[in-house]
A and B are shown apart, each in its own frame.
Chain A
């Protein structure tokens, strides 16, 4: 999905509170107020993420509903991690990331709901469309990488790599479908990249420790 610029301005997001952690840690009316403020802050973050992903409505969930659900989940996750906040960033920046993560996952999940993810029949064709810089070496590289996908990767690595990179399935959507998590899939992708790069270096098509081949 594409970033769409600034997030909508919140009416009043209660970012100015010097003692978030201690207030949230002690039961009482002050904690209840802090929780309401924190939830408002997480809704703001979630709305920002939903907006930047270009989500308007779909799958039965509108923006407010989706942002509020994401904020609810984010609040639970944040409170479970409150003891890990060490003040290395502003509390609000630290808190926002929970709202952003849960909103992003919710949008990706809603956008892919009901869509099939094909994990078999992994035939890949070189892209023959003309593009700037299209030259023989690039075509050769595409052909070599296509071959390497079938020879140096395990079947699991190949399925994951094709789904994530070629079909552009969001990583948390794929994780949900496969019953795993984002961490495990990213590790699979990372290991597959290492195998492909190692083979390309061995074939003299890539220098070690560079960015991606183009």
Chain B
């Protein structure tokens, strides 16, 4: 097995501040409300959700799809919410 490179992307991910703690299960329980809050332009929503979605690519990937699906149902442009999701 050859050595793996360790670069800026990995360093950023390894040193992320993911407090306040939130589990993936808790993220799943809350993500529908969170997505609707983002689509409503609510910037004050759940710091623990924001921290979790920064630190968990799988949950973030799924939340992004949920934004697109929900925006489609409500006739909204998903891009502002997707931008908020990535902050």
Is B6 within 8 A of A90, CB to CB? no
Is A161 within 8 A of B14, CB to CB? yes
- A182: B residues at CB distance < 8 A: 24, 58
Instruction: Using CB atoms, name the residue of chain B closest to A10.
Output: B72
Cβ distance A163 to chain B, nearest Cβ, rounded Å: 10
In the complex, A210→B19 CA distance in Å?
10
Q: Is the interface of B mostly helix, strand, loop or mixed?
A: helix
Point out which of B13, B14, B25 has the most chain A C-beta atoms below 10 A from its C-beta. B14
Is B32 within 8 A of A165, CB to CB? no
- Count of CB-CB pairs between chains A and B under 8 Å: 173
A106 at the interface (CB under 8 A from B): no
Interface stretch (choices A19-27, A31-39, A141-149): A141-149
Is B17 within 8 A of A92, CB to CB? no
In the complex, A213→B10 CA distance in Å?
10
Number of residues of chain A lying within 8 A (CB) of chain B: 71
- A192: B residues at CB distance < 8 A: 14
Is B12 within 8 A of A212, CB to CB? yes
Is B70 within 8 A of A93, CB to CB? yes
Interface residues of A (CB under 8 A from B): 1, 3, 6-7, 9, 13, 15, 44-45, 48-49, 52-53, 84, 88-90, 92-94, 96-97, 100-101, 104, 108, 118, 120-127, 129, 131, 133, 138, 141-142, 145-146, 149, 161-162, 165-167, 170-172, 182-183, 186-187, 189-190, 192-194, 196-197, 200, 206, 209-214
